[in-house]
Every structure is written in C-alpha cells, then in structure tokens.
C-alpha cells in the first residue's frame, strides 16, 4: 500500500483539485507503466469485466510500485474473498460494482478493514511484504485504504442519502451505462433523463463533503466533467483510447470500419471502403436542408397539420418525410395508404389505432403500418400538442378514408405489433447496434422487420464526438435531427442542423454526420429503399478538393 500516494490523492481532492486516471482492461503491465510515467493520479484495474487473471492484475499493481499513482482494483462483485485478495496483492483500494444500499456499503467497508473495525483476514502476501511488514501494514491499512462504491442503478441513486452516512467512504463512482440500462435504456451511455439524474446525485455527494468519479467519453467530455464538478475523472478506458486513435488514423486513410460482435468482417449494409463512388452513382440533384417552418404545410385534418421537410418540394424521389402536429384533442380518422407509413412520436401524447388495436406511444416510440392497412391517430392530451415524425416511400402522398367500424382493444406496452401487420418499436427497450464511432442505431423498419415494405429507417444517437464514415446511398435519404446539434458534411460543404431541421441527401451524394457539440445528438433517418445499405468511401471524397463529382 502506497500511503504517501494515497495522502497526496486525498490532499488534492480536499483542495478541490481534479485527479485524473486511467481505466485498465488490457493485459500488458506496460499500460500501467505508461500511466505512471505520465503522472496519472490513479488507475483502476478492472477485474469485473474482461479477462484479466490475478497474475495479470498483480503485474499491473507491481508496475506502479514506488510511484505517486494510486492503484485500485475493481472486483467482480460484493465478495469478501475478492476484496481480500485484491488488497493482499497490494492494491491501494477497491472499486465495488452495483452498490444499492447503505447496508451493502457498510458490508464492503468491513471486508476492506482488519478487525476490530472490519473482518479482513491477515495474510503473508505482497501487502505485508510476504509477512515481513505485518505490524506496519495492519496498523496503517484501515486508515488509508480507499473503498469506492459504484452507483450504477436507479436503486443505487435513490439510496444515496443513506449511503452518504456510511463511515469509511469518501469517494463514489458513477456507471452511466448500467444506470441507463436499469432505467430502461439498455445500450445507451446516458439515456433520456439519466444525465440530469446523475448530476443531481453528484450534487448531493459534493454537498456531503465527499467526491465523485466518472469515466469521460472524449476529450471534450473530459473538460465538461471537470466543469460539472467531478473531481475523480477517468481520461478513458485503455482499449477505448486505443480504438479512438485507430479509428481516427484509419478514417484519414479512408479505411475506417465498425467492428462486428463476431470479430469477423461484416457482410452487412456497410461493406468495404471504396476509393471513390462509381460513375454510375453520379447524382443529378443537390442536397437540401429544410429547417422547421420552411417546409410546405398542409392541413390534413381538423387541428392536424403536416409540414413536408423532405419530399416533392425538395426534389426527393420515392420519399416523403416531415412533421405532423396534432392540436390538443385532435385526431385523424381512419384511413389507409397504397404504401407503408412510419410514425414516430417526438413530443406529447399519442394513441395510434390499427384496425382497432390501440397503441399508446411514448417519446421516440415508432409504429410502422404496411400498405392498405386502416389506421387512425389521436392526441389524448387536452392541453398539449403532439408532434410526430412521419415517413412514406413516395414523393406524392395520398390517402383514402375508411368508413368501417373496428372493435377497439388496448395493446400492452411491450407489444411488438401484429405478425404480418403493424410493427411497433419501443425506444426504451429496442435492440441497438454500433453504427460508427460513438454512434448507435435502432432499426425501426426495413424489409426484414416489415416484409414488403418499400423503405427502411430508424433512430440514431451520437455521443459527443460521435460520427459516421463518409458514405453514399443508392437511393434518397432523409435525416431529421430531433435532439441536440449535428454537423453535416456533404462533399466539403458543411451544414449545422438542430430543432428537427431535415437534410435530403439524394442518391450518390457523399456525406457524413458528426456531433461536434458537448451533448448527445439524436436523429431519425429514413432511406428510400427497403435495405439500410451504406456504401462507404474514402474520407477525402467528403472534402472540397476530393469531391468525386466536381467537374473534371
């Protein structure tokens, strides 16, 4: 145990000085040696996730010996055996996952302390210099050991007031991803509302005179976390930092790609990177950016209006998207289309009926209705508007009213729809997949999800710094920015989009989106084809100089 390093860490925290560290998941102790050489205040060796064995863990601990870098080990669970072993091999403290009560917290504090204050057994291992320093270590360990619980669930957040009363704990860590999962947003780093909840918990911890740690997701996020008052800030996970550098270098070389869960090259919609688009894809139209308020507006029902953001007015082909606004209590009576329709709730309260089956949508839920299927919609609020994003695979929308009675029946909140008919996607629980660096997508609809559909589309969330590779499509695309701010690059031309502004990318236009803000950005994307195919090209195609379609 490096008592001098622990004193220095505590002194910095007491002075309000942020302490920076590295999360270690890879085997090589050279990683820890680099962190020590760069003057990192602390590292966490992660023995919860991944594949580190105890031989590798002790090598990381040994790599920081005689330094001012505090070494913590995150154990796999709340276990006296794991905590005792981590401290016996010489760790300066422990990080324990998924703590949800004051009782659990008192338990792990006792596991980390020798009697009579705790129940930690005394061993002749590295911590005691193999039995040569029993007296010194047992006298100083209880005072200096760091016990760091991870608050990574809604239940843990709710118990923070009682946990702050537990003696022997001066530092908490947050796990935003698991917290988001427990809140119903599996696969997101910070789902809707989670960021505000964590900041509120952070404020309580600071008010109690204790400190909070968190992992930064980017260099910009690192600065943001310090400004928010986090004192123990992780600059990143070793593997994540390596991948960030690799993605950046490969993007410059025009060779970036996403990793498949199987670790095999994906035979999916992204495909291989090509040097430039084939001449057969040369576009015949320019991109069009349409902010809300600039589109053509039509009344489609009493108290119901549609603003076209991508469609015939913008020169789109086989695609119409836009916003439908329902006044309080307004409804659209039963009708059908000769093509599919996608409906995504952005704000307010909406019930969509399909042949009597009633679905209550919440924010960013989607229902996709195949062609010739009767449906209706109603704003169930008497005080607030409801706004939805709609998409149709045509540039000439039409509908036919249906004069028929349907017996109504409410569908459950987790109903995926009816086989062979409507398809429902609940944003909170939908399967997500990586779409690019710092970007994850949900598929709302495509020919696999809705057989016979003529379009594909879904939801994408971009963390700060998140982006897609330069690409083009064999069909028109609509991209609506429903949350945050996005930067769109089209062959060297740059656009800023927010507040539901929508971009039309015609077939063949090389483009990509990037989140250059400090907050997440969310988009709804729709392709004018049934398979979500992206044809990836070298990055230089998205520059003024490398524009593949400029006059030659």
Global confidence as pTM = 0.56
Q: Are 518 and 450 in contact (CB under 8 A)?
A: no
Residue 4, pLDDT above cutoff 80 = yes
Four-way CATH pick for 3-246: 3.40.50.10440, 3.20.20.60, 3.40.50.1980, 3.30.70.600: 3.20.20.60
Looking at the domain that runs over 279-542, which CATH code has it been given?
2.60.120.10
Q: Of the given ranges (135-149, 389-403, 503-517, 528-542), which has the lowest mean pLDDT? A: 528-542
| 49 catalytically annotated | yes
* Beta-carbon count within 10 A of 485 CB: 16
Alpha-carbon gap, residue 400 to 403, rounded angstroms:
10
Question: Quick one: pLDDT band at residue 185, thresholds 50, 70, 90?
Answer: confident
Mean pLDDT of the chain: 92
Q: What's the number of CA atoms in the CB half-sphere (13 Å) around residue 298?
A: 8
Establish whether domains 3-246 and 279-542 are of one fold.
no
Domain regions of the chain by residue span: 3-246, 279-542
Question: Quick one: pLDDT band at residue 266, thresholds 50, 70, 90?
Answer: very low
| Placement of tokens 């459950």 in the chain | 412
Q: Which two tokens stand for residue 154?
A: 């809604």
**pLDDT value for 262:** 47
Residue 414, pLDDT above cutoff 50 = yes
Q: Which two tokens stand for residue 256?
A: 């970036």
The edge-to-edge listing of strands for the beta sheet with 456-462 is 288-290, 502-505, 477-483, 521-527, 456-462, 439-445, 433-436
Residue 270, pLDDT above cutoff 60 = no
């Amino acid at each position: 145990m490096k008592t001098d390093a622990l004193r220095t860490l505590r002194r910095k925290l007491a002075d309000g000085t942020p302490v920076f560290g590295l999360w270690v998941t890879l085997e090589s102790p050279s990683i820890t040696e680099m962190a020590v050489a760069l003057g990192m205040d602390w590292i966490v060796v992660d023995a919860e996730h991944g594949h580190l064995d105890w031989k590798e863990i002790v090598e990381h601990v040994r790599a920081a010996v005689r330094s001012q870098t505090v070494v913590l080990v995150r154990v796999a669970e709340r276990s006296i055996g794991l905590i005792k072993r981590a401290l016996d091999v010489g760790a300066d403290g422990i990080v324990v996952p998924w703590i949800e009560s004051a009782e659990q917290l008192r338990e792990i504090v006792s596991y980390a302390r020798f009697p009579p204050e705790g129940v930690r057994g005394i061993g002749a291992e590295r911590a005691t210099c193999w039995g040569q320093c029993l007296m010194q270590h047992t006298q100083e360990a209880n005072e200096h050991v760091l016990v760091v619980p991870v608050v990574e669930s809604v239940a843990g957040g709710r118990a923070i007031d009682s946990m702050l009363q537990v003696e022997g704990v001066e530092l908490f860590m947050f796990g935003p991803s698991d917290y988001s999962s427990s809140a119903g947003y599996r696969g997101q780093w910070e789902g809707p509302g989670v960021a505000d909840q964590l900041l509120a918990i952070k404020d309580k911890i600071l008010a109690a005179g204790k400190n909070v740690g968190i992992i930064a997701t980017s260099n910009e996020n690192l600065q943001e976390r310090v400004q928010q008052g986090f004192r123990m800030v992780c600059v990143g996970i070793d593997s994540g930092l390596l991948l960030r550098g690799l993605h950046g270098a490969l993007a410059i070389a025009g060779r970036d790609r996403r990793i498949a869960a199987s670790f095999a090259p994906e035979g999916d919609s992204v495909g291989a990177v090509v040097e430039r688009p084939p001449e057969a894809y040369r576009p015949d139209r320019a991109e069009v950016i349409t902010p809300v308020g600039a589109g053509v507006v039509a009344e489609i029902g009493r108290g119901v209006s549609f603003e076209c953001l991508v469609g015939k007015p913008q020169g789109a082909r086989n695609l119409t998207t836009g916003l439908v606004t329902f006044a309080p209590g307004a409804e659209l009576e039963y009708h059908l289309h000769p093509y599919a329709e996608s409906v995504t709730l952005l704000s307010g309260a909406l019930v969509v009926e399909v042949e009597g089956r009633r679905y209550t949508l919440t924010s960013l839920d989607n229902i996709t209705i195949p062609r010739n299927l009767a449906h209706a919609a109603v704003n169930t609020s008497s005080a607030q508007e409801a706004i939805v994003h709609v998409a149709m695979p045509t540039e000439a929308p039409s509908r036919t009213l249906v004069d028929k009675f349907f017996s109504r029946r409410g569908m459950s909140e987790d109903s995926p729809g009816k086989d062979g008919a409507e398809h429902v996607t609940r944003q909170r629980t939908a399967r997500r997949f990586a779409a690019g660096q710092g970007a994850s997508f949900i598929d709302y609809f495509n020919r696999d999800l809705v057989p016979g559909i003529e379009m594909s589309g879904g939801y994408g969330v971009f963390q700060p710094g998140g982006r897609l590779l330069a690409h083009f499509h064999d069909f028109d695309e609509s991209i609506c920015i429903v949350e945050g701010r996005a930067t769109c690059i089209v062959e060297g031309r740059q656009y800023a989009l927010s507040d539901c502004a929508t971009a039309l990318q015609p077939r063949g236009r090389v483009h990509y989106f990037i989140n250059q803000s400090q907050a997440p950005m969310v988009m709804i994307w729709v392709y004018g084809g049934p398979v979500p195919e992206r044809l990836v090209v070298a990055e230089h195609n998205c520059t003024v100089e490398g524009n593949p379609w400029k006059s030659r």
